[in-house]
Amino acid sequence: MSISVDVHLLSGKHASIQVEADASVASLKHRAQTALASRGRLLNSSGEVLDGAQTVTEAKLLSGDVLTLHVQQVQLKATTPGDARFVKPGFSALLGDGSVVTWGHADYGGYSSNLQEQLRDVQQIQASDSAFAAILGDGSVVTWGDAERGGDSSAVLQQLHDVRQIQTQLKNVQQIQACDCAFAAILGDGSVVTWGHAPSGGDSSGVQEQLKNVRQIQASKYAFAAILADGSVVTWGAANYGGDSSAVQDQLRDVKQIQASKFSFAAILGDGSVVTWGNPEGGGDSSAVWQQLRDVSQIQASRGAFAAILGAGSVVTWGDADYGGDSSAVQDQLRDVQQIQGQLRDVQQIQASECAFAAILGDGSVVTWGLRTSGGDSSAVQEQLRDVQQIQVSLGAFAAILGDGSVVTWGPAKYGGDSSAVQEQLQDVQQIQASNRAFAAIRSDGSVVTWGPANYGGDSSAVQEQLRDVQQIQASNGASHGAFAAIRSDGSVVTWGPDYGGDSSAVQEQLRDVRQIQASSDAFAAIMGDGSVVTWGPGDYGVQQIQAGSSDSAAILLDESIVT
């Protein structure tokens, strides 16, 4: 006996599907996905996800029932193990039907074949530097990758149920926080489960009794800090990275938010004051400016320093001077700091490179400080920095878009700080994207101007004629190289830079109707309009090794087959 059901997409497109009553729901979903050319979760008329293991009869489906194929956009995640010049990452793609596909370095999350039966109805994926954690629809968690850095959660598997984080406006949002070597999961009852490298935050047994009613978790490189419902804070992990807050524990009351550098934490209290802890030289000691930290509205962090914007628009900094912790040379200029964006008026903000800061003032001028060789000195262009609308940053240089669409850059040329060779072309600029050491600017007519070292994507002359009607640009950020990928208005893609993602010729015919691009340090992955994925770049850096060559590529299609 067979039945006929109608399966609808939210767009209104639908198909009538016939299936035997003793057939599995999984086979029904497969037919619906094929008919509608979309991947998704199959929902009954009550909005409940149907269990693929059940038969049609067991699912109580009848002829004439109206079902929904709920399609979600593909989400991509990548691990970032160590120095990308020598250690390659793993990739994971969360597909529209809640399944997961992985590729790249097997030791760092690129291999999940042994877990495919468990990776169903996945809601979210989080990554540490060497492992992945997936939250399923029932609140359980599946992990894989480097066991010592979070890939093995077997010791806490029984505790990993009903994982979720409840935020003010986001109800029942399931979430996990990660530092470089460990994970921390907030459960539905407000408790926390951790795993991964024990000294780096993977072991929270010493504070487990305190981890109740947790609302939010922040992470430094090797430690975690949890804000509880009553505004108090619990920390764990490496002490010299902020894992030990005992020295300031009595002060951590009515905490509203926490910001982290790589080495320490800074908490803003309800009265606008600030409490810091962690590595003293990396921002953990703010005693020298403690009296000034009043009415703080926002904190920004570089790698080893903090900058706090006060309600009056002034700025207070502390931490390693080489990372921007000393702003004394420009302190008199740091008044009325704000960045005006499209829909956000009077939003106070600071931009940071790895070792320097740049603040946009209320009058559109800019003040910089920090390591001179990382953009901390803008004196050579100070007179040009007027009516600044936004700032973009590479690893060690800044690029500012002015109100008239022109661009001013500063910092070492090796980081893209010298745009003199293309200055006359930098007119009517709408947005700027940066790799580690180069910049790409999109003009109002959709053309693109690039500058910086060629091996980081600073030279686009080979594809300049193709760079028309560009809508957005994404950049890879390898330690010794970088590349750019531009999406045009027709959904096609133009790439440039070294072989590490800069050459997409092997997959160019497949790059049609591209909606979004994600980048690792050395490769790109494009999400297509039909939900499939096309990748390019060196195989070991995240692309499945289908054929030999310097720019191997693979596309994950609707039926999970691979096309090269």
Residue 56's CATH number: 3.10.20.90
Q: What is the tally of structural domains in the chain?
A: 3
| 392 falls within a domain | yes
Q: What percent of the chain has pLDDT over 90?
A: 37
* Distance between CA atoms of residues 502 and 440, nearest Å: 14
Mean per-residue pLDDT, 410-439: 94
CA geometry: angle 406, 407, 408, nearest 5 deg? 135
Q: Which residue has the higher pLDDT, 384 or 556?
A: 384
Decide if 482 contacts 476 (C-beta within 8 A).
Answer: yes
Answer yes or no: do 411 and 460 share one domain.
Answer: no
Answer yes or no: do 337 and 379 share one domain.
Answer: yes
pLDDT of residue 195: 81
Answer yes or no: do 489 and 546 share one domain.
Answer: yes
Q: Which residue has the higher pLDDT, 122 or 267?
A: 267
Mean per-residue pLDDT, 206-222: 91
pLDDT of residue 378: 92
pLDDT of residue 248: 96
| 136 falls within a domain | no
Single residue among 373, 390, 418 that ends a domain in this structure: 418
pLDDT of residue 330: 73
Answer yes or no: do 433 and 312 share one domain.
Answer: no
pLDDT tier at 169, thresholds 50, 70, 90: very low
- What CATH number is associated with residue 367? 2.130.10.30
pLDDT tier at 119, thresholds 50, 70, 90: confident
First to last CA, the chain: 41
Answer yes or no: do 369 and 487 share one domain.
Answer: no
* In the predicted structure, residue 19 carries a pLDDT above the cut 70: yes
* In the predicted structure, residue 399 carries a pLDDT above the cut 90: yes
CA geometry: angle 545, 547, 549, nearest 5 deg? 95
pLDDT tier at 341, thresholds 50, 70, 90: very low
Single residue among 44, 70, 96 that ends a domain in this structure: 70
Answer yes or no: do 536 and 504 share one domain.
Answer: yes
pLDDT digits (tens, 9 = 90+) for 130-146: 888 888 877 778 889 88
| 185 falls within a domain | no
| 240 falls within a domain | no
CA dihedral 72, 76, 77, 80 (to 10 degrees): -170
pLDDT of residue 153: 67
Answer yes or no: do 500 and 479 share one domain.
Answer: yes
Mean per-residue pLDDT, 409-420: 95
pLDDT digits (tens, 9 = 90+) for 182-205: 878 787 778 888 888 888 898 999
Answer yes or no: do 323 and 432 share one domain.
Answer: no
Mean per-residue pLDDT, 391-406: 93
pLDDT of residue 337: 57
* In the predicted structure, residue 273 carries a pLDDT above the cut 60: yes
* Distance between CA atoms of residues 89 and 87, nearest Å: 7
Answer yes or no: do 378 and 489 share one domain.
Answer: no
pLDDT digits (tens, 9 = 90+) for 234-248: 999 999 999 999 999
Q: Which residue has the higher pLDDT, 271 or 33?
A: 271
Q: Which residue has the higher pLDDT, 370 or 562?
A: 370
Answer yes or no: do 435 and 553 share one domain.
Answer: yes
pLDDT of residue 167: 27
pLDDT of residue 51: 84
Single residue among 70, 87, 116 that ends a domain in this structure: 70
| 362 falls within a domain | yes
| 139 falls within a domain | no
Phi first, then psi: give them for residue 461, nearest 5 degrees: -60, -30
Host domain of residue 354? 286-418
Taking phi first (over 0 means left), then psi (-120 to 50 degrees means alpha), and beta for anything else, what does residue 541 get?
alpha
Looking at 12-72, which runs of residues are DSSP E strands? 14-20, 41-43, 66-70
| 191 falls within a domain | no
pLDDT tier at 542, thresholds 50, 70, 90: very low
| 536 falls within a domain | yes
Tokens of 373: 């060789």
Mean pLDDT score of the chain: 81
* In the predicted structure, residue 539 carries a pLDDT above the cut 60: no
Burial label, 431 (beta-carbon count in 10 A; 0-12, 13-18, 19+): middle
Alpha carbon distances (Å) from 212 to 151, 196, 234, 269, 546: 25, 21, 10, 20, 48
pLDDT tier at 562, thresholds 50, 70, 90: very low
Looking at 37-164, which runs of residues are DSSP E strands? 41-43, 66-70, 75-78, 90-94, 100-104, 122-127, 131-136, 141-145
pLDDT digits (tens, 9 = 90+) for 47-90: 888 888 899 999 999 999 999 988 776 677 778 766 544 567 78
Answer yes or no: do 35 and 52 share one domain.
Answer: yes
SS (H, E, C) 208-245: HHHCCCEEEEEECCCEEEEEECCCCEEEEECHHHCCCC
* Distance between CA atoms of residues 420 and 399, nearest Å: 12
Answer yes or no: do 485 and 395 share one domain.
Answer: no
